[in-house]
């Protein structure tokens, strides 16, 4: 956790906000799910005390969605209460097709959903959204930009995550609302970030901490940065 906070502090020094996620897989034990919720709540308090600019990113599977809906919701509520107390935004990534639980979570104050961009029609009116483009295969940047503009009309915060880099550079050349935030994985080049900011686009970085980094790396790390992430996390593990 200390390493994640230090990383965000460094990013903030470059005028880049961040979102922090705890790397742990899905749980089938209520005590483990509660532990994860408590860890996130402590992270929220640490962020508040440090004065850094960061949101929280959590997966429902980490909080017991594979156990039962109520367990997961109660744990989300624990984190959301801590976030609201300190004015920190909470992003929640639903598992699978549990739209009922996702809708319930999205109605909590200060909470947004992380969803696959392909399913935006299912969630486009649920408030704040973080759209994951990792499974989005449309190569037409005009169509993507049009989709983002359309979604933005119906939501509060809009973050675009995991967009293929070649598609991203084409999209930001289109006429696009400047208040859309583009999120990249920790390790994305500072030079590229500055270039994006010069284009007038907003950027955020997803900063992970914890031992379960393999799945994260496979799903989130930009091409060419896998070794960077692995070396960072293995170094912390060795310490």
pLDDT at position 24 is 84
> Greater confidence, 8 or 123?
8
125 found inside a domain:
no
225 found inside a domain:
yes
Tally of structural domains, the chain: 1
pLDDT at position 53 is 96
pLDDT at position 215 is 62
> Greater confidence, 45 or 222?
45
Fill in the DSSP letter of residue 128.
S
Give percent of the chain with pLDDT exceeding 90: 49
14 found inside a domain:
yes
144 found inside a domain:
no
Q: What are the residues whose beta carbons fall under 8 Å from the beta carbon of 148, sequence distance 6 or more?
A: 131, 158, 160, 171, 176, 177, 180
CATH of the domain at 82: 3.20.20.220
pLDDT digits (tens, 9 = 90+) for 154-175: 787 899 998 888 888 888 887 6
Confidence of residue 137 (pLDDT cuts 50, 70, 90): low
For the ranges 50-59, 99-108, 110-119, the maximum mean pLDDT occurs at 50-59
pLDDT at position 142 is 84
72 found inside a domain:
yes
When the pLDDT of each residue in the chain is averaged and rounded to a whole number, the result is 85
Residue the block writes with tokens 């460094």? 10
pLDDT digits (tens, 9 = 90+) for 63-96: 999 999 999 999 999 999 999 999 999 999 986 6
204 found inside a domain:
yes
Give the mean pLDDT of 94-107. 80
106 found inside a domain:
yes
68 found inside a domain:
yes
- Cβ-defined contacts of 164-167 (< 8 Å, 24+): 164/133, 165/222, 165/223, 167/133, 167/139, 167/141
Q: Is the four-CA dihedral 39, 44, 47, 48 of positive or negative sign?
A: negative
How do beta strands 54-59 and 202-209 pair? Answer: unpaired
Confidence of residue 213 (pLDDT cuts 50, 70, 90): low
pLDDT at position 166 is 82
Residue the block writes with tokens 């084409």? 170
Asked if the model's pLDDT at residue 225 lies above 70, the reply is: no
pLDDT at position 77 is 97
pLDDT at position 29 is 93
Question: Could you list the residue range(s) of the whole structural domain that residue 13 is in?
Answer: 2-115+185-238
* Distance in angstroms between the alpha carbons of the first and the last residue of the chain: 13
Confidence of residue 122 (pLDDT cuts 50, 70, 90): confident
pLDDT at position 152 is 81
Give the phi and the psi of residue 203 in degrees, each rounded to 5: -130, 145
Model pTM?
0.86
Residues 41, 50, 190: CA angle, nearest 5 degrees: 105
């Amino acid at each position: 956790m200390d390493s994640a906070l230090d990383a965000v502090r460094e990013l903030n020094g470059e005028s880049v906000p961040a979102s922090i996620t705890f790397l742990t897989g899905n749980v089938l034990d209520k005590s483990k799910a509660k532990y994860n919720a408590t860890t996130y709540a402590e992270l929220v308090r640490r962020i508040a005390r440090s004065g850094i600019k960061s949101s929280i990113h959590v997966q429902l599977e980490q909080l017991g969605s594979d156990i039962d809906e109520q367990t997961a919701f109660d744990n989300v509520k624990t984190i959301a209460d801590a976030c609201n107390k300190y004015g920190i935004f909470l992003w929640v990534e639903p598992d699978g097709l549990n739209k009922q639980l996702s809708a319930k979570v999205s109605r909590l104050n200060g909470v947004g959903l992380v969803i696959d961009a392909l399913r935006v029609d299912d969630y486009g009116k649920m408030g704040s959204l973080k759209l994951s483009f990792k499974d989005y295969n449309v190569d037409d940047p005009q169509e993507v930009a049009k989709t983002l503009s359309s979604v933005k009309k119906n939501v509060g915060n809009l973050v675009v995550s995991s967009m293929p880099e070649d598609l991203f550079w084409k999209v930001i050349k289109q006429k696009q609302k400047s208040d859309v935030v583009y999120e990249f994985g920790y390790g994305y080049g500072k030079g590229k970030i500055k270039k994006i900011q010069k284009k007038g686009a907003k950027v955020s970085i997803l900063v992970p901490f914890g031992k379960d980094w393999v799945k994260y790396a496979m799903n989130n790390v930009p091409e060419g940065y896998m070794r960077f992430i692995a070396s960072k996390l293995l170094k912390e593990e060795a310490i």
